[in-house]
Amino acid sequence: MANLTHANRELFRRRDDERYEDLATLAAFCRTQKQQSLDRWQPPQQLRPVVREGELLLAAGDDGEYQMNDWSFGQLCSLARVSRDTVNRLFPETAARVFADTMPTGQKPLQLLTSDRMLRSIHGVSYTRLWNLDVVNLIRDCATDFQPPQKGMNGATGLYAGEEDMFCFLIDPTGWTEIEGQAFAPGFFVWNSEVGKRSVGISTFWFQAVCQNHIVWDAVEVVELTRKHTAGVGSVLTDIRRSIDSLVRRRDERRDGFVKVMTKAMKDKLGDDAEGVLKELAKNGIPRQLAKDALEIAQQQGRFTIFSLVDALTRLAGRVMNAGDRLEIDAKAAQLLMLAA
């Protein structure tokens, strides 16, 4: 089993204005962000650093001049192959001259994503954008039983989106089922970046607990899928849908199977009398004294069903002080329950 810290990292790095209460408000933000954004294609020769009122801007041909945020400024430094740390120490006028001398001069156009007068990102022709809104709408469509976990210690819900990327942490609080005798529920992470800050992907899993730090404890069957923002990236939406559908289908299969086992366990007897029950318990590795104590509790209920005896063993485990002994009794109870499988 693994402890997953993806959501924990998001919990503590996100500002208040990047947190959302539910998928509907997250989708509304992503919709506005998409509507206000525009792709502009310009040859490298048309990009020119300029200084206005002490601020470094990027002029893009006839499209005007744009401010740069932290991400697009870093991308510009990468295009010009200059050190970001070095440029940050220069006066704006000096930085403009550095960029003017180092900007690429190729023939392939560059893709500029703008929002009003802000430059959100710069990419080459190989980059293919996937809008956050498309990802969120997909989640809302196919993960109807899932919701954010309990709020984190700082009030964050697990749903985030900002200028650079988005992240969703969702669980099914009604999907608890048994896996190898222990209780697990399904959940998943989904992430994307319209500006290329991170890949697009999904990680599905089954977990036992989520703490207020949004660490996912004791996760099993962790399956991760990621794609880069290159040609055909839109097909990842189909892959994400399949991942969620597979998680839901497995949840339903396990939940239905568990219900069948429990129903059968409540009907099937382990024996017709006390002596017969003790013999069956002994065959399944239950120590004689523990078996006699469980039988006494089951007799009070007037039945010797598998369920009544498992329930009795579970109650007895709760009275044991030593954690190791409790686990051993719980394991034997789970093994007994499998007789009804």
Q: Are residues 144 and 233 in the same domain?
A: yes
Shared domain for 224 and 323, answered yes or no, is: no
End residue of a domain, out of 227, 255, 283: 255
CA 124/CA 47 separation, integer angstroms: 13
| 277 shares a domain with 244 | no
Residue 285: predicted pLDDT: 82
Q: Please give the pLDDT value at position 241.
A: 94
| Domain-located, residue 262 | no
Residues of the chain with pLDDT below 50 are none
Task: Judge if 9 and 149 occupy the same domain.
Answer: yes
**189 and 167 in contact (C-beta within 8 Å)?**
yes
Whether 115 maps to a domain, the answer reads no
From the list 176, 144, 129, 131, the residue with the least C-alpha distance to 23 is 144
What is the crossing angle of helices 92-102 and 70-80, to 10°? 50
Residues 185 and 281 in one domain: no
Provide the angle, in degrees to the nearest 10, between the axes of the packed helices 306-318 and 288-300: 110
Domain match, 307 and 171 both? no
Residue 284's SS3 state is: coil
Dihedral sign (CA 121, 45, 107, 85): negative
Could you tell me if 251 and 272 lie in one domain? Answer: no
Same domain, 74 and 15: no
Does residue 261 lie in a domain region?
no
Could you give the number of structural domains in the chain? 3
- The CA distance from 43 to 126, in Å, is 14
Looking at the fold, whether 27 and 164 belong to one and the same domain comes out as yes
Whether 143 and 233 map to the same domain: the answer is: yes
226 found inside a domain: yes
Q: Domain check: are 27 and 145 in the same one?
A: yes
Same domain, yes or no, for 155 and 86?
A: no
Q: How far is CA 193 from CA 166, 242, 256, in A?
A: 6, 20, 37
Q: Which candidate, 194, 230, 228, 159, places its Cα nearest to that of 71? A: 194
Residue 114 counted as domain residue: no
List the alpha helices (DSSP H) in the chain: 6-13, 23-35, 70-80, 84-88, 92-102, 132-142, 236-267, 274-283, 288-300, 306-318, 323-337
The residue from 192, 227, 255 where one domain ends is 255
Task: Print the domain residue range for 85.
Answer: 44-106
Q: CB 203: neighbour CB atoms within 10 A?
A: 20
Specify if 39 maps to a domain.
no
